[in-house]
Structure 1
């Protein structure tokens, strides 16, 4: 068994903790107990608990696909979160060696995220599959944003401050739910089950009956030092509001988790304006979706 350097061990431990936090977030929001999910995928609850706490290896691609099925999420979401896309691709290349030439052509052209999205759209149209593998573009986070709902370089001392600012931009004027009440609902859910993910990203959220899905993204002037799965301080906070739970809500949460796993916080925190942040987010989503 190969020995890991201290840096490699730390990186591996961080990846396990971050995946576990994302999996727990999605399981809880799906309304499943640890025991229920473990039973449905054929593992022990003790094993699943170790995975969620970052104490066991990330599940295999087949098991991640099974978890995605139970959560009613596209398989690509958990495969990317678990960094298990590479083994899946490797197995495909072993079965179909001719595909290597196509990958080489893509690499040689150094295609951007939007360019790859055009190729994916062609593949989807020419070779449709019975069930979607990735997240529908209609459920991407960037589609919920407006420049008014981007807060750059926010100075704050606590995550509660961010939630207050976000709620003021999410609550419609004259709506049934005041900004203060919305903030309290988001905080209530956050206290029940913290939504801190990896790479300095958190996704506080609430389900408000009748609300249209909406989001606020806040980048922080100074990172918040709070307990996080990988130890990175918070610097990017995505606040979500949905009108109901279910698959659409889970996919939005999963989208944020994927952004965390792709280290998107660096690019988004460097945005010089709201429009640039939304454009960068669209490109990141096209590249990983």
Structure 2
């Protein structure tokens, strides 16, 4: 934590993007319920989830397939605010996060549902405490304008094993990926809270840099930020071999609320 460093208040206007998951069905004008579907097949990328009265519950089910056979063991349920890829067989697409040659396998028409270049996002979540799981929120370069636009604002990554009743740990910062204009700057932070309960994570990014906070307190500052459109992704992963019997599933995490504002720059002095 950064002592006495408070996040700026959100803009005094309605969010440009918001969802509290009270509708009976997921809003298709807001979310794509697949994890990077262009790199794999629809049955592997499709999210498992339900809306249960406290928000949207992401699930990893006992019968859920690995996201890609090459990445096994790895299962994921994800919501993201858009999709982009080149044609089947190409290497163009959002979040080329592997250096060993991802190739488009599924045609995914371009959809920019929410992709701000600068802004603020508040994400209220309850992290998973299920063995092998990680809950994450990322803002990733869409790459629809250029392959160089691949940087990421990592709002949080919370491993289930790092969640405690009094202290929880999370990773946050900026990842360059293949954007030579950025430098990866990630930090693990210790927070005096139980991350399995609802807490609000915030990222504010723009020309002045990036700030990341939790429950109104800044936990990370980075002097740079990606300067191009970014999709928001919120993901529940199960990493490694399936653990436990079928009774251990589903493994879950909650998204309670998301609010986003376009073109809100991080304050000077970041």
TM-score by length of 1: 0.23
Mark the structure with the bigger radius of gyration: 1
Task: Looking at secondary structure, tell me which structure has more strand per residue.
Answer: 2
- Structure 1 or 2: more helix by fraction: 1
